[in-house]
Amino acid sequence: MLGLIRALAATNYVAFTGLLAALTVGTFDASIMLKLVHKSALARNAFPYVEITQSMIAEFPLHHLAGYLIITTLTNLFGGFEYTLAWLVYYVLGLPVIFSWIVLFVEGLREEEVFSEGIKDLVTGGEPAEALQSPLSLPLVTRLINPLWTPPDVTIYPNITYATTEETAQIVEETGDFSQPKLLSLDIYGRTDRDISDRRPVLIHVHGGAWRKGSKNMFKPHGKVLVQENNWLYVSIGYRLAPENPYPAHLIDVKRAIRWVKQSISKFGGDPNFIVLSGDSAGGHLATMASFTANNPLYQPGFESFDTSVKGVISFSGALDIQATRHHAEFFAHRVAMQKKGEFDQEFLDRHTPTRLIGEAKQNGNLVPFLLITASRDTLVPSTVGKEFKTIYDKYSPPATSSASQCSLLNLPTAHHIYYVGWTPRSIFLSRLVQAWAEQLYTKKK
């Protein structure tokens, strides 16, 4: 029996370490997964999950290191290292993986230079910016230990339905699913000591998840900083998802949420006349589409004349070109818009590809200021998408100087797709960039 336990411990350790080694190599070299995607349908289906896993490794390497050391210790306690293969794997793969994770952590720390330059170039107009506080300083290191840390002086108003009774009834009738209306809800975060009579700016965040998954139930670091230090209100919204609800149901719901915020946020101390949208991944696409189609009756059924315009958009690895590759276009057409296999409505895709709507948004007066964050190692939304968006944006809204562009872009050289969900060195710096950009926008627009 003990022999079996030792064998299982050794086998699991060898397999687990091998998997971690493969994922870690991919974390440094994104091209490996991209090559597999072009060759294998299985890899295409798996690569979103691989990218998410590699993002977690890149952002939380020390947490992975701690977990791996625990597993190594348990393997030793159960006698797994009595097998020579386990020892070989530890030295040949385990130790290099540990070293690689330390390198990943250092890479995150070193991106302070990127963010400092970004604040100077994009926000202060070239003027020296205040030095960013080190994530290793005492006030911040506790956040690195607990990535979900939330300021104690924040009040949350959860699960507020933003759809009307008629709208929820129609959704139930269309889907036959009484749980669907629960998705049309939002959470409001605000400082506990705020003065309700003092109308403060509002940030509405649209979560990602490939239009098919995801949840509003995460208070992002950039929102925590804006709420705690700048007394903004942060509104995290949910929306209906595919396949039960084909797109553009998602876009319509985002606009319904904007309508509710404009009608009701003053009761919570928010300013209905100053709303900024932010979104990550698919949420970045939806936030951008909502701003570009402001007041478009086609996506505002039942509230066609309501003003859904906003003051600005922040995109974190936003899917701003749903036709970046043939695979992206097919995914959106068949798994998000739920068009039948074999059908491919090019006109529909063009109408919902933000990079192809910038000129129309300019013509309609809907080209608001943008802050774009991209990541060089992102295999889900290539960083070239953000660059293309900015190039087209500046064509239709030429800046007087490079620092005067209304579309600010910052590319993170060592980040993957997800770098904004919990406290890490990178997200600490990111929250400062967002804070500086948002406060500057508020000062200009209020």
pLDDT tens digits, one per residue of 110-143: 999 999 999 988 776 666 667 899 999 988 999 9
pLDDT tens digits, one per residue of 17-40: 999 999 999 999 877 766 665 566
In 353-419, which ranges are E strands?
370-375, 407-412
340/129: higher pLDDT: 340
Residues annotated as catalytic (active site), given as ranges: 281
Angstrom distance (rounded) from CA 46 to CA 37: 9
Span 201-230, average pLDDT: 98
pLDDT tens digits, one per residue of 405-419: 799 999 999 999 999
Residues 6+ apart with CB under 8 A from 384: 324
| Residue 408 to residues 121, 246, 317, 386, Cα–Cα distance (Å) | 9, 32, 13, 10
In the block, tokens 């509710």 appear at 260
Cis peptide before 248 (omega within 30 of 0): yes
Span 103-114, average pLDDT: 97
For the record, the structure tokens of 424 come out as 């890490």
Domain 118-445: CATH superfamily is Alpha/Beta hydrolase fold, catalytic domain (3.40.50.1820)
For the record, the structure tokens of 309 come out as 């315009």
Instruction: Indicate the pairing of strand 233-237 with strand 312-316.
Output: unpaired
Angstrom distance (rounded) from CA 11 to CA 5: 10
Task: Inform me whether the pLDDT recorded for 80 exceeds 90.
Answer: yes
pLDDT tens digits, one per residue of 135-187: 999 889 999 999 999 999 999 999 999 999 999 999 999 999 999 999 999 99
